[in-house]
Amino acid sequence: MVAELQETVKRLRSIRGAKTEIDRWFQNNIPAVATTENEAPAAHSRHGKKQQRVLLVGDSLLKGTKVPICHPDRASYKVCCLLGTKVRDVADRVPQTVKNTDYYPLLLFHVGMNDTASQNLGRIKEDYKALGVQVKKIGAQVSSILPVRGKGTARNEQIMHINSWLHGWCHCEGFGFYDNGTFFDDYGLLERDEIHLSRRGKGIFGSRLANLMKRALN
């Protein structure tokens, strides 16, 4: 087989401009080398066979944001919308939501609105700290709480206080912080309950979060 191969190559090389013909012959006659089960292809990352996941976890404000966020890769991107959830609830669910068998280059949280309706500032901060302990070794980011309307100035002042504290806390703990500011404090972006986002508001919110995730991954 080796002698026959050498003879064929020698004959082809004697022909002017035979490089293309040689390449074609090799492609048709030399079988591809198969990798063994324990031999990872060169394209695999340092994380081995772990599936890459980009996860967004939060409260009901995430409802309706799945399409723009998961558009790049529906298999790897996931939005976990937990209706009525609070920060402590999310912290308690992390062990079940974040799997050791997967690799998370980005884990984004948007939660806290429900806490500001019934919890005091000290309790909310402690619950965020508990969440931080759960995701300390992951590239986590926190999205600021959106302002609400029609619930009195006290609640919005509480939201502003928590967002300001979150900014500093995330910096100290090594987490990313995304400040939504007062962008959604607009009647055109809220539902009639003046808490949840309108259809247009959800679309804008989803697009902003999708852009945030894209920038974080790049």
Q: What structural domains does the chain harbor? A: 1-33 (no CATH), 51-217 (3.40.50.1110)
Which residues are CB-contacts of 18 (< 8 A; sequence separation ≥ 6)?
12
pLDDT at 151: 76
Could you read off the pLDDT of 101-151 as tens digits, one per residue?
Answer: 888 888 999 999 999 998 899 999 999 999 999 998 887 999 999 988 877
Give which of 140, 214, 197, 191 is closest to 170, Cα–Cα: 140
3-class SS string, the chain: CHHHHHHHHHHHHCCCCCHHHHHHHHHHHCCCCCCCCCCCCCCCCCCCCCEEEEEEEECHHHCCCHHHHHCCCCCCEEEEECCCCCHHHHHHHHHHHCCCCEEEEEEEEECCCCHHHHCCHHHHHHHHHHHHHHCCCCCEEEECCCCCCCCCHHHHHHHHHHHHHHHHHHHHHCCEEECCCCCCCCHHHECCCCCCECHHHHHHHHHHHHHHHHHHHC
Polymer length of the chain: 218
Q: Is the pLDDT of residue 206 over 50?
A: yes
For the residues 24-34, what does the mean pLDDT come to? 37
Q: Please tell me the least confidently modeled range out of 142-146, 153-157, 166-170, 214-218.
A: 214-218
Confidence of residue 183 (pLDDT cuts 50, 70, 90): confident
CA 44 to chain CA centroid, nearest Å: 20
Asked if residue 218 has pLDDT above 90, the reply is no
Instruction: State mean pLDDT over 3-12.
Output: 54
Whether the per-residue pLDDT at 38 is higher than 80: the answer is no
Q: Chain-wide mean pLDDT for the chain?
A: 79
What residues have CB less than 8 Å from 127, skipping those under 6 apart? 86, 87, 88, 91, 115, 119
Whole-number percent of the chain with pLDDT over 70: 76
Structure token digits, residue 76: 């790897």
Radius of gyration of the chain (CA): 27
Q: What average pLDDT score do residues 63-77 get?
A: 82
β-strand partners of 57: 80, 109
